[in-house]
Structure 1
Amino acid sequence: MSTTQSLITVLKAELKAAGMTYASLARELKLAESSVKRMFAKGEMPLSRIDEICRVLKTDFAELSRQVADAKALRRELTLEQEAAVMADPKLLLCAVCALSQWTFEQIVATYTLSEAECVARFVQLDRLGIIELRPLNRYRLHLAKGFRWRADGPVMQYFRTRVVGDYYSGGFDGEGEMLMLVHGQIGRGLATLFNERLQRVAADFAQQHLADQKLAPDQKRPYTLIIGMRSWLFGAFRELKRDPDVHGPSVVGRRLNSAARDV
Structure 2
Amino acid sequence: MSSSQDLVQALKAELRAAGVTYAALARELGLAESSVKRIFAKGDMPLSRIDAVLAVLKMDFAELAARVVHAQPMRRELTLAQEQAVVADRKLLLVAICALSQWSFEQIVATYTLGEAEVVRHLLALDRLGIIELRPLNRYRLKVDKTFRWRADGPVMAFFRSQVVGDYFGGGFDDVAETLMLVHGQIEQRQATVFVERLQRLGQDFAQQHVADQRLPAERKRAYTLVLAMRSWLFSAFRDLKRVPAD
Q: How high is the TM-score relative to the length of structure 2?
A: 0.72
1: distance between equivalents of 2:104 and 2:178? 26
How big is the shift at 1:143?
1.1
Question: Percent identity of the aligned residues?
Answer: 65
Q: Give the counterpart letter for 2:96 in structure 1.
A: A
Alpha-carbon distance, 1:65 to partner: 2.0
Shift of 1:214: 1.4
| Paired residue secondary structure (1:215) | coil
The separation in 1 between residues aligned to 2:98 and 2:189, in whole angstroms, is 36
Q: Which residue of 1 aligns with 2:132?
A: 132
Superposed displacement of residue 150, structure 1: 0.5
Structure 1, unaligned runs of 5 or more: 1-53, 251-264
DSSP 3-state at the match of 2:234: coil
Residue in structure 2 matched with residue 60 of structure 1 by the alignment: 62
Shift of the alpha carbon at 1:168?
0.4
d(CA) in 1 for partners of 2:154, 2:193? 23
Q: How does 1:30-41 map to 2 (within 5 A)?
A: none
SS of the residue corresponding to residue 134 of structure 1 reads strand
Aligned residue in 2 for 1:89: 89
Pairwise mapping of residues 120-199 of structure 1 onto structure 2 (< 5 A)?
A: 120-199=120-199
CA distance in 2, matches of 1:224, 1:215: 17
Shift of 1:60: 2.7
Which residue matches 1:46? none
Q: Letter of the aligned partner of 1:111 in structure 2?
A: T
- Counterpart of 1:78, as a letter, is L
Q: Deviation at 1:87? A: 0.5
In the alignment, structure 2 segments of 5+ residues that lack a partner are 1-59
Matched pairs, number: 189
CA distance change for structure 1 residues 178 and 129 in 2, over 3 Å: closer, same or farther?
A: same
Q: Which residue matches 2:200? A: 200
Secondary structure in 1 matching 2:199: helix
- The amino acid across from 1:65 in the alignment is R
Q: Could you tell me how far apart the structure 1 residues matched to 2:232 and 2:138 are?
A: 44
In structure 2, the residue matched to 1:23 is none
Q: Conserved in 1, the CA contact under 8 Å of 2:147 and 2:200?
A: no
Letter in 2 for 1:197: E
For 1:240, give the aligned amino acid. D
TM superposition score normalised by structure 1:
0.67
1:93-148, CA deviations, whole angstroms, 9 ceiling, x for partnerless residues? Answer: 01101111111111111100001111111111111111112222211121111111
How far has the Cα of 1:170 moved from its partner? 0.5
Q: Is the 8 A contact 2:196 2:230 kept in 1?
A: yes
Counterpart in 2 of 1:262? none
d(CA) in 1 for partners of 2:203, 2:116:
31
